[in-house]
Amino acid sequence: MTERLQPGDTAPAFTLPDADGNEVSLADHKGRKVIVYFYPAALTPGCTKQACDFTDNLELLAGAGYDVIGISPDKPEKLAKFREKENLKVKLLADPDKQVLEAYGAYGEKKMYGKTVVGVIRSTVIVDEDGKVERALYNVKATGHVAKIITDLGISAGTRMR
């Protein structure tokens, strides 16, 4: 089982292709806070709800100094379809070999309908400007999760970067 990240840990570096096949690295976001969220599969109801919630709140999060990156084991082509179909503005990255998912503790055993299965553990890791883990949330719910993050981070409609 993969080790879960803890606050203060250095966030594992990554470079993955986005929905257009362009390489995106965590290092590209140095100096900004980054919300990295891991979800099981594009074009599924829960993952769609979560991606739409992040898209709907992207301006608010960006205004508070946060970039948002969604990572799943889907291939870039499927991510492009997902983005187009749902009009998503969140940066979606493909991790088909699951190396980044595993490095972040977002892949492993989980309970699903009472059975233990191996798969993507819906997770969110908030990385600070220096690349350190500020928060690591595992087994999160797709619905209401974005609102909870916004509340927990103390972001309000009036919050703006100084």
Which of the residue ranges 8-12, 56-60, 151-155 would you say has the lowest mean pLDDT? Answer: 151-155
Percent of residues in the chain assigned helix, strand, coil, to nearest 5: 30, 30, 40
**DSSP letter at 108?**
E
User: For this structure, is 47 an active site residue?
Assistant: yes
Neighbouring residues of 105: CB distance < 8 A, sequence distance ≥ 6 = 2, 3, 4, 5, 121, 123, 136, 138
Which tokens belong to 139?
């087994």
pLDDT tens string 87-128: 999 999 999 999 999 999 999 988 878 899 899 999 999 999
CA distances from 137 to 4, 80, 125 (A): 9, 26, 6
Which residues make beta-bridge pairs with 119?
A: 108
Q: Which amino acid is residue 25, in one-letter code?
A: S
pLDDT tens string 2-55: 589 999 999 999 999 999 999 999 999 999 999 999 999 999 998 999 999 999
Question: In terms of Cα–Cα distance, which of 90, 69, 59, 89 is closest to 159?
Answer: 59
Which tokens belong to 79?
């991510």
State the Cα–Cα distance between residues 1 and 153, nearest whole angstrom: 29
Exactly one of 19, 36, 42, 47 is catalytic; name it.
Answer: 47
Q: How do strand 23-25 and strand 15-17 relate by DSSP bridges?
A: antiparallel
